[in-house]
Amino acid sequence: MEYLNAFLMMLHAMSPYLLLGFLIAGVLHAFVPSSIYSRYLSGTGWRPVATAALFGIPLPLCSCGVLPTAVSLRRSGASRAASTSFLIATPQTGVDSIAATYSMMGLPFAVLRPVAALVTALCGGMAVGALERRGTLPEDGGNGQYEFSNVTGGFGHRVAETLRYGFFEMMQNIGRWLVLGLVVATLITVLVPDDFFQTYARWPLLNMVVILLVAVPMYVCATGSIPIAAALMLKGLSPGCALVLLMAGPAANLASVLVISQAFGRKATVAYLVSIIAGAMGFGLLVDYWPGLRDTFVAAMPHHHAAMGHAMQAGWLNWVCSIALVVMLVVANGAKYWKSHQLKNENKTMQKKEFKVRGMMCNHCKASVEKGLATVAGVTSVTVDLAQGIAYVEGSATDEAIRAKVVELGYENG
């Protein structure tokens, strides 16, 4: 019962803000023209770099979904500096995660998180821009195929697309990572002693290094990292260390580093990683050591923790939002796996070739693989089963050409 209460406490606290964030994400998807994202991102100066970061901060793309999108921007005329800035800023935060951060960790974290994303993106983008101007970066091929959606039609159609994307496709994209984050946070809340991190409070820098070593290579989305960071902080982790997890975890993982290295070159990848690590450490140390700042962040937590604790008894709205969120998650992800079952039977009957594709995390990855494989000579149709990680390909293309394209797109053959 203790585990269930802890899980419900976090779910009630996050659900109203998550639903609001998903709605705003759908509005951005349906009403913002795709051309605007590449029109202002050419050049290596500070302006396109800043514009790319400001474009990326509200977008609810994870560190896997942002990869083909950023490379697509590059193919559309954006500079490598602007593309790198977009790569750094976008996965660290989004409209959904900003709202959820406020609900679980308080206003200081909700404000500082996008500010930190902006600063680290500016630093990384300007560093890559300096390398571009010197001509020390190799030519990049631009392997990504995903592009921003360009929704057409009248107002009614755009509203429908807002709801479909925000409350269906977004649920499929981050649903399992959100649930995983809540489960991990529940286990931390129940199993980790309350004074665990207080034992190591004398070495905050060591704590940050350990958090970085864990957060950088693993995959965690911006929203899924919130309950984990909140639970760790309530067990004594310093707010600066929690901020390191919130910044570094969503911004980088091993797969994204490999793809960026292939698409943008090793020097650009080093600038990308250094800006994320240095930015996370810098802001973390600022929060922990600036006089009075740490106390401000800590003081915000008990208030919100108390609000979480009373959510089940005090708020019918929390219950309604939590139930709605759970139903949407079940429907969206149930549809994904039902579609997977249908695709398996359909393609078995049609005897299409099956290719295992490892590393796909969301619908943006699915779109990238489908569009990329469709460009292979001899391919007549491609259908990707995201749930099973399988690409069904029809046509005369050789297996070697298909597998080579999968690797070129930044994924792995099974």
Q: How confident is the model over 164-204, as pLDDT tens digits? A: 988 888 788 777 777 877 787 788 777 777 666 666 666 77
Distance (Å, whole) CA 18 – CA 24? 10
Contact 386, 357 (CB under 8 A): no
pTM higher than 0.85 = no
Do 374 and 265 lie in a common domain? Answer: no
Do 152 and 203 lie in a common domain? Answer: yes
* Sheet order of strands, 353-358 included: 379-385, 390-395, 353-358, 412-413
pLDDT, average across residues 377-391: 86
Contact 162, 95 (CB under 8 A): no
Domain presence at residue 75: yes
Do 304 and 347 lie in a common domain? Answer: no
Q: What is the pLDDT of residue 283?
A: 95
φ, ψ of residue 317 to 5 degrees: the values are -65, -40
Report the mean per-residue pLDDT for the chain.
Answer: 79
In 145-285, the DSSP E strands lie at: none
CA distances from 232 to 4, 130, 222, 235 (A): 18, 38, 16, 5
Do 302 and 355 lie in a common domain? Answer: no
pLDDT, average across residues 121-150: 68
Domain presence at residue 157: yes
CA distances from 329 to 219, 322, 336 (A): 20, 11, 11
pLDDT at 30 over 80: yes
CA atoms within 13 A on the CB side of 266: 0
Do 282 and 346 lie in a common domain? Answer: no
Do 354 and 310 lie in a common domain? Answer: no
Q: What is the pLDDT of residue 154?
A: 85
**Domain count for the chain:** 2
Do 345 and 252 lie in a common domain? Answer: no
Report which DSSP code applies to 167: I
CA atoms within 13 A on the CB side of 409: 32
Domain presence at residue 321: no
Other CB atoms within 10 Å distance of the CB of residue 52: 31
- pLDDT-derived band at 327 (thresholds 50, 70, 90) equals very high
Do 361 and 280 lie in a common domain? Answer: no
Domain presence at residue 168: yes
| Residue ending a domain, choose from 284, 314, 344 | 314
Distance (Å, whole) CA 75 – CA 83? 10
Query: Which run of H or E residues covers position 277?
Result: helix 266-289
Virtual torsion, Cα 40, 43, 44, 46, nearest 10 deg: -40
Domain presence at residue 244: yes
Do 175 and 286 lie in a common domain? Answer: yes
Domain that holds residue 347: 336-413
Domain presence at residue 326: no
Query: In this predicted model, which residue has the larger pLDDT, 351 or 245?
Result: 245
The DSSP string of 42-56 is: -SSSHHHHHHHHHHH
Q: How confident is the model over 63-118, as pLDDT tens digits? A: 666 766 676 667 666 778 888 898 889 888 888 888 888 888 889 999 999 999 99
Domain presence at residue 32: yes
The percent helix, strand, coil of the chain (3-state, each to 5) is 70, 5, 25
- pLDDT-derived band at 278 (thresholds 50, 70, 90) equals very high
Distance (Å, whole) CA 329 – CA 366? 19
Q: How confident is the model over 346-379, as pLDDT tens digits? A: 666 666 788 888 877 777 778 888 888 888 888 8
Burial class (CB in 10 A: 0-12, 13-18, 19+), 83: buried
Contact 190, 8 (CB under 8 A): no
pLDDT at 289 over 60: yes
Do 125 and 270 lie in a common domain? Answer: yes
Do 27 and 119 lie in a common domain? Answer: yes
Phi-psi region of 290 (alpha: psi -120 to 50; beta: other; left: phi over 0): beta
Do 110 and 159 lie in a common domain? Answer: yes
> 379-385 and 412-413 as β-strands: parallel, antiparallel, unpaired?
unpaired
Domain presence at residue 320: no
Q: What is the CATH number of the domain that holds 395?
A: 3.30.70.100
Distance (Å, whole) CA 38 – CA 52? 9
Distance (Å, whole) CA 118 – CA 102? 18
pLDDT at 403 over 70: yes
Distance (Å, whole) CA 241 – CA 232? 9
Other CB atoms within 10 Å distance of the CB of residue 100: 29
